[in-house]
Amino acid sequence: MLREINFDGLIGPSHNYAGLSPGNLAATRNSGNVSAPRAAALQGIEKMRANLRLGLAQGIFYPLARPDHAWLASLGTRYADAPRHLQAQALSASAMWAANAATVSPAPDTADGKCHLSVANLVTMKHRSHEWPGTLAQLRVAFADPAFVVHAPVPPPFGDEGPARQSRDASEAIARRHGLSPERCLFVEQSTIAIAAGAFHNDVVAVANGPVLFTHEFAFADRLGTHAELRARMPEVEIVEVPAARVSLADAISSYLFNAQLVTLPGDGGMALILPTEARDTPAVWDWLQEHVAGNGPIRRLEVVDVRQSMANGGGPACLRLRVVADPERVDPRFIVDEARLDRIAEIVAARWPEEIAPDQIADPELILQIESARHALLSAMELSELLTD
């Protein structure tokens, strides 16, 4: 049976605040702060537990090998000898934001009736541009069943993420390789106003689920045209637009109101919005949400989760997960979690993840050894030895 599965990226033991993503206001603002990898990963695990309590199917992606020694070798250096900026880029735990891992087309939308996943090249950000080999290896294990087709990235220089760095050619190439009907595809441009305000991805100003588009008034370059095209192709669409007069772009972006998980609850089919605590702490945002839930809108329930460590590096609840519509029985069971598996993962995180990483520690050989041994212990416990070679 097809279900939406949220695959959350487990926050890796190298989680640190190096400020590597220009345009991401939170990441640059917190650059140089002391991070807490252990607390970050445990927060992410609690978020996954919250989804399980809602009756949702929950998956997991595991941290990639960091530092990325192969990438550094391709640049003619080793971690111990690399300049500081390359050390930071090689150590980045940004693969935790699984929403950027791949573009997914569910089986009902594709020509061959299979679920297609195209790994992102993330080419415009140096610290993310070397993620794809590890991500591709992991996805090909998780989705090895014939029900899936996992594609390598669109080649550079075609950028495939972020509003000011995503080429239309990349999106169109993915639509073609996934066998999507051109008549059912929309390629929509994000507004320059939203980009200038700090919306580095569209999921900072809009999110969709089923027939519902939840969006800020200033999300799209051609707001009315986009709405009209959606209604023409999908008459049942319900557009929930938050007016700028009620919630400013600044409040929407700082609270990550739209970088929430909009999910359909089992049972009555009502929708819930899984929000960061920052949304509750922003009065204009919380007031609008309370009014919407009290009315007849499609969002019937608000769930607040603490992902402050991820938020401080520029990623909210939606950044931490990749949505895949599939039969959970066709996914490698090592990538599907229940409470028992999360208990085991949490034990390893609590015992092995660094408690803190200060900016001046990233060159410390003992820290690097701890990061690498922590990941090795986790993958060994999860019986994923094939990922230890990435």
What pLDDT tens digit does each residue of the chain (390 aa) get? 999 999 999 999 999 998 888 778 777 888 889 999 999 999 999 999 999 999 999 999 999 999 999 999 999 999 999 999 999 999 999 999 999 999 999 999 999 999 999 999 999 999 999 999 999 999 999 999 999 999 999 999 999 988 888 999 999 999 999 999 999 999 999 999 999 999 988 999 999 999 999 999 999 999 999 999 999 999 999 999 999 999 999 999 999 999 999 999 998 879 999 999 999 999 999 999 999 999 989 999 999 999 999 999 889 999 999 999 999 999 999 999 999 999 999 999 999 999 999 999 999 999 999 999 999 999 999 999 999 976
116, 130, 131, 319: the catalytic one is: 319
Please, which residues bridge with residue 35 across strands?
357
Q: Treating both helix axes as pointing N-terminal to C-terminal, what angle do 339-352 and 365-381 enclose, rounded to 10 degrees?
A: 160
Q: Is 229 a catalytic residue?
A: no
Question: Burial of 172 by CB count in 10 Å (0-12 exposed, 13-18 middle, 19+ buried)?
Answer: middle
Q: Which of 49, 65, 64 is nearest to 6 (CA)?
A: 49
Q: Is 319 a catalytic residue?
A: yes
Q: What is the pLDDT of residue 174?
A: 97
Q: What is the pLDDT of residue 390?
A: 60
Residue 42, amino acid: L
Q: Is 115 a catalytic residue?
A: no
CB atoms within 10 A of CB 376: 14
116, 130, 161, 217: the catalytic one is: 161
130, 178, 201, 216: the catalytic one is: 201
Question: Which two three-digit tokens encode residue 319?
Answer: 């950044």
Q: Check: CB of residue 390 under 8 Å from CB of residue 65.
A: yes
Q: What is the pLDDT of residue 45?
A: 98
